[in-house]
Structure 1
Amino acid sequence: MKKLFIVFILLVVQPAMAAMSVDKIVLYLEDGPSSRDDIVVSNPDEEPLYVKTEIFRVDNPGRENEERIRVINPDEFKLLVSPAKAVLSPGERKRFRFMALDRNLDEEKVYRVTFRPVVGEIKAEQTALKILVAYQALVFVQPEDGAYKVGLLEDGGTYHLTNKGNINVEVVEVRHCFSETECEKIETSGRLYAGTSIEVADVPAKGELEVLLRGQKSERIRFPLEG
């Protein structure tokens, strides 16, 4: 009996090889009428590629009660992706346009958009394994006056990086510094959403904490520690 096994893999980063590739996976949009950006999907395969998009709204991002809700009702679409589905010939590149309909936000909105290959009728001469790679883009729709405000909070000897702003920022690297030239890396990283915090473990109560942040730009900030 001849069989064909199909495996779906959902990736939020781009692998070295795949039957579909995207040029970026993080988008920043503003809550204005002209806010838009594109993701380019490529088909390096020798067969046609059928792709459809799925939009998820992320409620309470970065919190314990975070939810990812599939947006299906047309009245609830605040993020448009055009086209919603497409067929890419071998070697073809297709531009998918993202447009935000959110307006006058007090805090950024977060969406995840999946680019999923669609399986048609497949015939196999022998038992085989076909891997279909899906990609998920992270989309931030941000207020016109959006800004992150990262601080360091100490509570009972435990330190937390906090964000009291209204947009997210990524904590790329954290180092504990005894001096300008003597620093040790601390295994702390992650995305710091508005109103959330990240624990920084095993921090000596002296010197400084140096944090590398990355949003639409990158910066390093230092926090003095009480010793």
Structure 2
Amino acid sequence: MDFEPNITPRADVIIRNESKDRYYITVAPSEIVNPGTATEKRVEEADPDKLGLLVTPNRLILEPGGMRSIRIVSLNNALTSDRIYRVRISPQVGDIETTQSNVANRDMAIKLLAAYDVLVTARPNDAKAHLVTTQGDKTLVIRNDGNTNLLLFDGELCATQPAKSKNDTTACQGVGSHRMYPGTSWELKTGSSTDTLHARQRLYASTEPKSVVLP
């Protein structure tokens, strides 16, 4: 969920119960402090004004076949950099009944439940990402010196051979994706000082990704 600059800072998450059980849902927002770093931590705050995020309801009951919405509102003003949140949606069910024919032959029931995290970004009005690269003999370091995050995905690290033709390149190695939070770096191990990263870049959730080559 992306609260982009200069748009209405609220959105809804729709959850649906497609099972035959009644679910009791707990919704817990947290701020992610120092995201993307070794000191990243999840901080809970009961006061929405201090947290900068209002999530309602915090608890709900979802009947079989039912559907409910969870409203998320950013209360942030005059941000100078991103604030990053995770909203955890955790389901619980009541007692599970099993049939029992006799003591020696009992049925066993196992119910697997999964909690989900919704990533929420509150961005400053002058949000700008600025990628800077530093290339060594065996490393390529990409750093975000801007004030907002972006996602690099479908990344491939490619080594360029001495040119024999316009399209003469070696095979590329996939390096996956990485979210570049403000002030964070992504270090890639390279084969030479001329390797380049070919990836797709998405700034906002609503914008189309574009292809980039770094450096």
TM-score using structure 2 length: 0.82
Structure 1 residue 122, shift from structure 2 partner: 4.1
Distance, in Å, in 2 between the alignment partners of 1:86 and 1:181 is: 59
Structure 2: runs of 5 or more not aligned? 100-106, 161-165
Say whether residues 1:36 and 2:18 are aligned partners: no
Q: Which residue among 35, 44, 57 is the counterpart of 1:70?
A: 44
Structure 1 residue 92, shift from structure 2 partner: 1.7
* Cα pair 1:31 1:101 within 8 Å, conserved: no
Q: Which residue among 134, 145, 152 is the counterpart of 1:164?
A: 145
Residue 174 of structure 1 is matched in structure 2 by 156
Percent identity between the two aligned chains: 27
Distance, in Å, in 2 between the alignment partners of 1:102 and 1:141 is: 7
Structure 1 counterpart of 2:198, one-letter code: E
Structure 1 residue 110, shift from structure 2 partner: 0.3
Q: Computing the radius of gyration over CA atoms, which structure comes out larger, 1 or 2?
A: 2
Distance, in Å, in 2 between the alignment partners of 1:80 and 1:94 is: 17
* Cα pair 2:152 2:201 within 8 Å, conserved: yes
Q: Which residue among 191, 194, 202 is the counterpart of 2:182?
A: 194
TM-score using structure 1 length: 0.78
Structure 1 residue 124, shift from structure 2 partner: 3.6
Residue 199 of structure 2 is matched in structure 1 by 211
Query: What does the per-residue CA deviation read over 1:15-70, in whole Å, with 9 as the maximum and x for residues that have no partner?
Result: xxxxxxxxxxxx00146683111111110011222211011110000111111012
Say whether residues 1:114 and 2:95 are aligned partners: no
Structure 1: runs of 5 or more not aligned? 1-26
Residue 104 of structure 2 is matched in structure 1 by none
Distance 1:207 1:33, change over 3 A: closer
Structure 1 residue 177, shift from structure 2 partner: 5.4
Distance, in Å, in 1 between the alignment partners of 2:138 and 2:190 is: 9
Structure 2 counterpart of 1:130, one-letter code: K
Which structure shows the bigger proportion of residues in strand conformation? Answer: 1
